[in-house]
Structure 1
């Protein structure tokens, strides 16, 4: 029974770690999205300041061009993180399933032990009743 309890603790630890990993990925996605949105606002502000929105224009802002590239890099990172999030979600789901299986086995073992104890008690009671019946 001790090994089953240790296994349950291990599985719970693994589930917690997978949840933390998923949470970290989601936090990074959120942070990167905020940064990308801020860059969008900066590009729009710069375009309004210079009066040039055409990226092919020879006088287009260097700052706006660089901010647009950084935003594109962030979007690529978000897409990569989104794939990682999907994998992490699947891994978490598998870890939760494993934990549930081990917990169900532990519950079944506990129920079996309880039933065996009840049977043993009943056998003892039957033996006592038989002895009394025989006058014993």
Structure 2
């Protein structure tokens, strides 16, 4: 029975680790989206301050250009993290299914003595 308990703890640990990974990725995506939104507001404020909204204009704000570049990089990172999140969510779902399957399986240790008992016609071999 001890081996089964150890295996069950391992399955729970694996599921918990995958759940933590999903949560971490979701948190990172939220933080990156918040930062990208802040950069959008800063770019808008800079464009309003200078009066130049065209990034191709020769006197467009360098601050607005660099903030737009950072925002675009964050959005690319968000897209990459969403792909990783989907994979992590799939791994978590698989681990959850494995744990559920493992916990509903009948313990092997209990079924073996019964078989032995049935084979001997009720006589104990011990």
Which has the greater radius of gyration? 1
TM range (shorter): 0.7 to 0.9
The residue that corresponds to 1:79 in the other structure is 79
CA distance in 2, matches of 1:70, 1:15: 35
TM-score normalized with structure 2 length: 0.84
Deviation at 1:5, TM superposition (A): 1.1
> 1:109 and 2:70 equivalent?
no
Deviation at 1:109, TM superposition (A): 2.9
Q: What are the superposed Cα offsets for residues 27-82 of structure 1, whole Å, 9 maximum, x if unpaired? A: 10001000000000000000000000011111100000000000000000000000
CA distance in 2, matches of 1:92, 1:69: 34
Within 5 Å, which residues of 2 pair with 1:54-93?
A: 54-93=54-93
| Ranges in structure 2 where 5+ consecutive residues have no aligned partner | 115-126
Count matched residues. 111
TM-score normalized with structure 1 length: 0.78
Let me know the Cα RMSD of the aligned residues: 1.4
CA distance in 2, matches of 1:7, 1:96: 14
